[in-house]
Amino acid sequence: MTNATTSRGRLVIVSGPSGAGKTTVLKQLYQCAPVPLVPSVSATTRAPRPGEVDGVDYHFLSEEEFAQRRRRGDFLECVQVFGGGVWYGTLDEAVTPGLEQGKWVLLEIDVQGALSVVEHYPDAITIFVRPSSLEELERRLRGRQTESEAAIQRRLEQARNELAQAHRYRFQVMNDDVERAVAELSSILKNVEAERHD
Ligand code: ADP
Ligand code: 5GP
């Protein structure tokens, strides 16, 4: 099995409740990261949001395609994050080639997926992004205007579960302000990189 210790790259796992601002913050981080950071593009069976591009934001698969790839063993991990039959998963091919090229491959995945990836890659750098409060999280989810009321309720319930697991992550970053959160993430990566050369 490929291991992050033997590959030249590093695996970075970012989790946090839906609406915490992960996508917003990470988009900026890719522009200014102090290491060669690349995103792992996940697969999902959820419908694309306006502006989302297939192969960039996600690989948008039909349920049949997803199930077929799952049977073939193409996923490093996959989970129905919010139940309801909607799948999300990390493709092995989205991770291994990047690591072998010395990239820092970033997985933006839920807590359950993160814990299973850490079993394969124990030296993965785990970071939990949190909102300043649950009220603020709800405001952001509603402000995004991309989910139905039922989906918002499922995401808020899941947020409570995920926040209770934040202590399992090596780092926690509060996204109260985008610029500040980006700077903190950048500094975490820089410090981890420096540790490696100690
Ligand atoms: P996630 O990827 O964690 O689900 P998004 O990046 O889609 O979250 O952000 C959810 C909403 O919150 C978006 O409308 C985004 O513009 C907004 N947002 C993100 N970060 C902040 C912040 N620090 N302050 C206020 N609004 C934010
Ligand atoms: P969204 O539908 O808002 O893009 O993502 C919802 C949730 O799914 C987020 O918490 C995100 O981190 C998680 N997610 C996205 N891709 C994956 C994946 O490949 N695996 C797992 N386990 N979770 C994922």
Domains of the chain: which residue ranges? 1-40+104-198, 41-94
1-40+104-198 matches 41-94 in fold: no
Q: At what angle do helices 149-163 and 134-144 cross, to 10 degrees?
A: 150
d(CA 66, CA 53): 18
CATH architecture of the domain with range 1-40+104-198: 3-Layer(aba) Sandwich (3.40)
Ligand 2 interacting residues, C-beta cut-off 6 A: 18, 42, 46, 77, 79, 81, 88-90, 108-110, 113
Q: Which two tokens stand for residue 55?
A: 């192969």
Residue type, 175: N
Residue 39 carries which side chain, given as an amino acid letter? P
With the most atoms of ligand 2 within 8 angstroms of its CB, the residue from 42, 106, 142 to mutate is 42
Q: What's the gap in Å between 28 CA and the centre of ligand 1? A: 12
- The per-residue pLDDT for range 26-73, each reduced to its tens digit, is 999 999 999 999 999 999 999 999 999 999 999 999 999 999 999 999
Say if CB 181 and CB 130 are below 8 A apart.
Answer: no
Token reading at 27:
């988009």
Q: What is the pLDDT of residue 23?
A: 94
CB-CB contact of 157 with 88 (8 Å): no
Q: How far is CA 173 from CA 74, 177, 192, in A?
A: 31, 11, 15
With a 6 Å cutoff on the Cβ, whether 49 touches ligand 1 is: no
What confidence category does residue 75 fall into, taking pLDDT thresholds of 50, 70 and 90? very high
pTM above 0.85, yes or no: yes
Radius of gyration in angstroms for the set of CA atoms belonging to the chain, rounded to a whole number: 16
In this prediction, residue 115 carries a pLDDT of 96
For the record, the structure tokens of 144 come out as 């995004």
**Residue-level pLDDT at 24:** 96
pLDDT digits (tens, 9 = 90+) for 158-188: 999 999 999 999 999 999 999 999 999 999 9
CATH match for 41-94 among 3.30.63.10, 3.65.10.10, 3.40.50.10900, 3.40.640.10: 3.30.63.10
| Cα separation, 87 vs 81, whole angstroms | 7
| Residue (of 6, 33, 101, 5) closest to 14 by Cα position | 33
